[in-house]
A and B are shown apart, each in its own frame.
Chain A
């Protein structure tokens, strides 16, 4: 079956540091890949996505590139802010019949300090 593996957290960084959160996946076919973010006490928000190999998703300074050869979708940001503190989930979508469902990784908590 499909699965997503994320680096374990928590990740603690100082403001303006460089961020990488690793994500690798196992899937049949060609899934779409996503990063979702969950701020404290809130729901999941889509951060960025990529639908085919070599696509780069980007949003709010975050980037991730769909690497089919390494089955990876690592999240990066050049300079994190305190407001980026949240839990980040890597996810993939497969298509089952008439609907799709997300398979999530276990989430990586990011804590950014001043």
Chain B
């Protein structure tokens, strides 16, 4: 079965650079979520989109922005990168705004900021 696809899987950037992560949800899923997991920490919710509109916002820095496109894929843009942004970034998708209560996660994009 098709799963959530994230790209790139690994990314290395310098401080103050910009990075873009992409997420392709499971076909027919209409909701996308972004989570950040620092080393040894639990995943922290960043932002979510339902039917291409932002639906909820968590602890996402102002330097980050995200959107969901007409084909339901989503991109997380991170600017002025800091060392503390080094983390595993997960995308998840669900159907019908997550009312079924189950989120399907991608394998994550590991960002390293040097």
Q: Which residues of A contact B (CB under 8 A)?
A: 32, 34, 36, 42-46, 49, 51, 89, 93, 95-107
| Contact across chains for A101 and B50 when beta carbons are under 8 A apart | no
A-B residue pairs in contact (CB < 8 Å), sample of 26 = A34-B102, A43-B90, A44-B92, A46-B103, A49-B102, A89-B42, A93-B98, A93-B103, A95-B98, A96-B55, A96-B56, A98-B97, A99-B33, A99-B50, A99-B55, A100-B94, A100-B99, A100-B101, A101-B33, A101-B48, A101-B56, A102-B43, A102-B45, A104-B44, A106-B42, A107-B42
| Contact across chains for B101 and A32 when beta carbons are under 8 A apart | yes
With both beta carbons as reference points, the residue of chain B lying nearest to A109 in the complex is identified as B40
B108 within 8 A of A: yes
Question: For the complex, what is the distance from the CA of A32 to the CA of B35, rounded to whole Å?
Answer: 19
| Contact across chains for A104 and B101 when beta carbons are under 8 A apart | no
Contacting residues, chain B, for A46 (C-beta < 8 A)? 102-104
Task: Give the interface size bracket for B toward A.
Answer: 20 to 34
With both beta carbons as reference points, the residue of chain B lying nearest to A43 in the complex is identified as B107
Contacting residues, chain A, for B35 (C-beta < 8 A)? 102
| Contact across chains for A99 and B42 when beta carbons are under 8 A apart | no
Given contacts A45-B105, A98-B55, 8 further A-B contacts (CB under 8 A): A43-B108, A44-B43, A97-B55, A98-B50, A101-B33, A102-B43, A102-B45, A105-B42
| Contact across chains for B48 and A102 when beta carbons are under 8 A apart | no
Question: For the complex, what is the distance from the CA of A103 to the CA of B94, rounded to whole Å?
Answer: 15
Contacting residues, chain A, for B33 (C-beta < 8 A)? 99, 101-102
Contacting residues, chain B, for A107 (C-beta < 8 A)? 41-42
